[in-house]
Amino acid sequence: MTTSKQILVLYKQLLEKAYKFDNYNFREFAKRKVTDSFKANKGLSDSEAITNFYNQGILDLAMLTRQTTISQMYTFEKLVVEPLKRQR
């Protein structure tokens, strides 16, 4: 049985990973994909469907972890649309 608490933790982990893409296009896509698919499925009530969705999320989290790591190894110039980070 998957609780809403677990879902929120997974959502947070997925979003945090999505932010870690170095490449703007991948990052924005991943953020959009994560939020959109959670919003689209927030009305799920069948516990089996929820569990399936949750398990898929776990797999996606593993995939995002791999891909963000790779993304950080091969960095490119920032795009013009990206705001430059302030000097810290």
Closest CB 72 distance from other proteins, rounded Å: 15
Residue 56 contacts by C-beta under 8 Å, 6 or more apart in sequence?
none
Residue with tokens 């490449």: 23
Is there binding between residue 15 and other proteins (CB under 8 A)?
yes
Which C-beta is closer to other proteins: that of 12 or that of 78?
Answer: 12
**H or E stretch covering 67:** helix 47-73
Is there binding between residue 11 and other proteins (CB under 8 A)?
yes
Whether the CB-CB separation of 58 and 67 falls below 8 Å is answered with: no
Q: Which residues bind other proteins (CB under 8 A)?
A: 4, 8-9, 11-12, 15-16, 19, 35, 38-39, 42, 87-88
